Amino acid sequence: MNAQLSGRTAGVQLHPTSLPAGRLGDDAYRFVDWLAAAGQSWWQMLPLGPPDRARSPYKAQSAFAAWRGLLGDPAASVSDDEIDAFRAREAFWIGDWERVAGGRRAVADQVRFDREWRALRTYARERAIGLIGDIPIYVAPGSADHLAWPQLFRAGEVAGAPPDGYSDRGQLWGNPLYDWPALQRRRYAWWTERLRRTFALFDVARIDHFRGLVAYWAVPEGAADARGGHWRRGPGRALFDAMSRELGALALIAEDLGVITAPVERLRRSLGFPGMVVMQFGFDPDDPDGPHRLENHEVNSVVYTGTHDQDTLRGWWESLPVATRNAAVARIAAAGVEEPEPWWSMIRLAYSSPARLAMAQAQDVLGLGSEARMNTPGRATGSWRWRMAPGALTAEHAKRLRAAAEEAGRA
């Protein structure tokens, strides 16, 4: 178990682009204050890199650089000394980013972000709020990383996922795939530096698509969908051993959703990383032994009301088949956590889990419907756009969430 995730705690997931102004600044500080008032310990975010044209932060133009669009004050002055110091500190990647993103101005924006972020993180720490980041497993095609390190990537195949509960055609992500033997020959230095950068920004990070580091779905380049892909072996434990030799203990959450095999489970357990369980997956009458069912949750895990790839609790509830809804109603009643609104019942049910950490999406605290869904996998447009209305999270919301956290021993 990560030392940072010891004890029973709770948090809320909200990407900075979903703050009322869509960026850092006053809204971010107000949200930290609200989290503290609500008895929360964590603020979880999506990746902070420059998104693609569809606004996806999982296809960022850099695995290291932050997005200029997040800046609260994009016109703040930056000195030559600050730029020189940043170049020296981030020498592994900043030159590659500078070459593709606009020279000195691109570096100045990273200095601005670093300044704003350090201030926000200090403010959060003073209020006992930790920050959880997100590491996409892949980089975007044509990104600064792909262009600067072509020798680290394979040709002829792209990333995706096989058919599953999200899509019967699979998911065709289109990201370049790593040449793992090439990375191994370089002692996984690129990945080590990526995590070094991540932990300079966050206390803990969720590593996306953890199973792809055991075996990954490779799709022929140019395929119409992901059904014609096949599994290839990933680096396994060797990657994490190399990173931990340089960085020490790795404060990671393993996103172990999807097709999870025994080798994936063995690797996660051997590394001590908490996995993920999702309440919305826990009521399938045909899957009584599934890991997402509340009675099967483990202490060394993180329970989510839902993820950014799922509908909100309200949208999910209103679309449930009768049998699944009845199973959820029965489980809520058995736990004694009934609320007038079923999404609040689900938050309290998640809080009752033995999992160390319980995470709710801000949309679920607000009781918003499908219009507030962050992403629909397989859809090329229309996602990543939800933004919270000013003042939407009220003192009453905070009081109610704190009461739920206190009752569950998570405050």
- Report the catalytic residues: 208, 255, 309
Dihedral, CA of residue 29, residue 35, residue 37 and residue 41, to nearest 10: -120
Tokens for 13?
């997931």
Give the residue from 317, 323, 335 showing the smallest Cα distance to 287.
Answer: 323
Contact 226, 162 (CB under 8 A): yes
Give, rounded to a whole angstrom, the gap between the first and last alpha carbons of the chain.
20
Count of other CB atoms within 10 angstroms of residue 400? 17
Nearest-angstrom CA–CA distance, 33 and 15: 16
Comparing CA positions, the residue from 138, 135, 130, 132 lying closest to residue 157 is 138
229 within 8 A of 170, measured Cβ to Cβ: yes
Distance, in Å, from the CA atom of 252 to the CA atom of 133, rounded to the nearest integer, reads: 9
E strand map for 141-242: 153-161, 171-178, 204-207, 215-220, 230-233
Q: Which two tokens stand for residue 408?
A: 């569950």
Closest by CA position to 220, among listed 232, 211, 208, 228: 228
Q: Which amino acid is at 294?
A: L
